[in-house]
Amino acid sequence: MPQSTPPRRPSASRPPRHAGAITDVAGIEVGHDTDARRPTGCTVVLARDGAVAGVDVRGAAPGTRETDLLEPTHLIEKVHAIVLAGGSAWGLDAASGAARRLEEEGVGMPIPGVGRLPLVPAAVLFDLLVGDARIRPDAAAGYRACAAASARRPAEGSVGAGTGATVGKLFGMARAMKGGVGTASVTAGGVTVGALIACNAFGDVVDPQTGRVAAGVRTADGRRLLDARRALLRGMVPAPLLAGANTTIGVVATDAAITKAQAHRLAVAAHDGLARSINPVHTMSDGDTLFTLATGRAASPGMLVLSTLAAEAVARATVRAVRAAQTLVTAEGLRLPCAAEFAP
């Protein structure tokens, strides 16, 4: 049955406490840049000393940079930052700015006789349907996000790469809700695994702990959560939507010492967290991409433990992304309510 809880008026969104953060992983920093001219922005996850990295792209409409160098058989072992940005393919320019800032700080792979080369893979999400699409993250935004990075707990919700994010667009933007950025961490077996997720999903975000939809498609009157999975199973036909106008992207980090091949497998396992918390997920209209970073400061408890922690951290961070988001009303009159308005 569709959920029937009417919306309430929140004073502020209240994500669950004690969920941890990706910055609980030693050696990881996060910085956001949020563009006040339009809801968009970018987020940088730093590993200044370098981290063994992997990636897994599951969505069918990805926008990425330098993911090929993360293939386990390729030369490069470590990267220095991951950039997540709005703005679709234009937002990939933010990675250039982050790389410039890191070069100025002397961070990067040493190139004899040349200097240091920062390695900064990136992924973007599509937020161009919210506000003026001519405004999107650029190199200056990536530079600012990198300059703002710290090991403190990062802000969540409608900031950075999640500023213009939306969820639940199966039946049109008029019935969608606000997405955002969320983070969480889990510690077990002597290691910590953290995740930072920018959720801009085509489908609903579901809390795995309760099985209830936290944010997503609303009913035609906008007052209740429809439950997209049940609606599709009943035969409802999704509305036409610009291809690729979605995407959930994120970074999973751990202090465990793992190989590049294991980092790739950890990214694969981390997508289980998206499958638990987004429905439908990995669609033809999403470019869902997860990166992994391993700082190698702790002994690995084995891939079974790490994979379990990664999927859990991703699921929690995804739910936090919508629960921390704030309601948005655009200049064009589009109203995107936040999850807190529908919380029981």
CATH number for position 248: 3.60.70.12
Residue 2 reports pLDDT greater than 70: no
Nearest to 260, CA basis, from 21, 127, 74:
74
Name, in order, each residue with C-beta under 8 angstroms of 232's C-beta and a sequence gap of 6 or more.
Answer: 170, 238, 280
DSSP 8-state assignment for residue 236: P
Number of domains forming the structure of the chain: 1
Residue 259 in any domain: the answer is: yes
Give the mean pLDDT of the chain: 93
Quote the longest CA-to-CA distance of the chain: 66
Residue 208 reports pLDDT greater than 90: yes
Name, in order, each residue with C-beta under 8 angstroms of 263's C-beta and a sequence gap of 6 or more.
Answer: 52, 53, 54, 70, 72, 292, 293, 294
Residue 8 reports pLDDT greater than 90: no
Q: Which two tokens stand for residue 254?
A: 């751990």
**Residue numbers of the domain that contains 80:** 22-342
Residue 16 reports pLDDT greater than 70: no
- Residue type (1 letter), 157: G
Nearest to 41, CA basis, from 80, 103, 83:
83
Q: Which two tokens stand for residue 33?
A: 């840049």
Residues 32 and 337: their CA atoms lie apart, in Å, by 22
Residue 5 in any domain: the answer is: no
- Residue type (1 letter), 251: V
Residue 200 in any domain: the answer is: yes
> What pLDDT, in 10s, does the model give residues 285-303?
899 999 999 999 999 999 9
Residue 124 reports pLDDT greater than 80: yes
Residue 150's DSSP bridge partners are 30
- The SS3 call for residue 215 is strand
Cβ proximity of 196 and 24 under 8 Å: no
Residue 100 in any domain: the answer is: yes
Cβ proximity of 238 and 284 under 8 Å: no
**Stretch (H or E) spanning 249:** strand 249-256
Angle, in degrees to the nearest 10, between helices 260-277 and 303-323:
40
> What pLDDT, in 10s, does the model give residues 211-233?
999 999 999 999 999 999 999 99
Residue 274 in any domain: the answer is: yes
Name the H helices within the chain. 94-104, 139-147, 228-233, 260-277, 303-323
Residues 179 and 212: their CA atoms lie apart, in Å, by 16
- Strand 204-206 and strand 177-178: pairing? unpaired
Residue 148 in any domain: the answer is: yes
Q: What are phi and psi of 285, to 5 degrees?
A: -100, 0
Least-confidence region, from 4-18, 83-97, 308-322 = 4-18
Percentage, residues of the chain above pLDDT 90: 88
Q: Cα 234 to the chain's mean position, in Å?
A: 30
The confidence band for 18, taking pLDDT boundaries of 50, 70 and 90, is: low
Q: Cα 261 to the chain's mean position, in Å?
A: 22
- Residue type (1 letter), 190: G
- Strand 40-57 and strand 289-298: pairing? antiparallel
Q: Please report, in angstroms and rounded to a whole number, the separation of the first and last CA atoms in the chain.
A: 16
Q: What are phi and psi of 292, to 5 degrees?
A: -125, 150
Angle, in degrees to the nearest 10, between helices 139-147 and 94-104:
50
Residue 12 in any domain: the answer is: no
Helix (H), strand (E) counts: the chain: 5, 18
Residue 271 in any domain: the answer is: yes
Residues 132 and 325: their CA atoms lie apart, in Å, by 20
DSSP 8-state assignment for residue 18: S
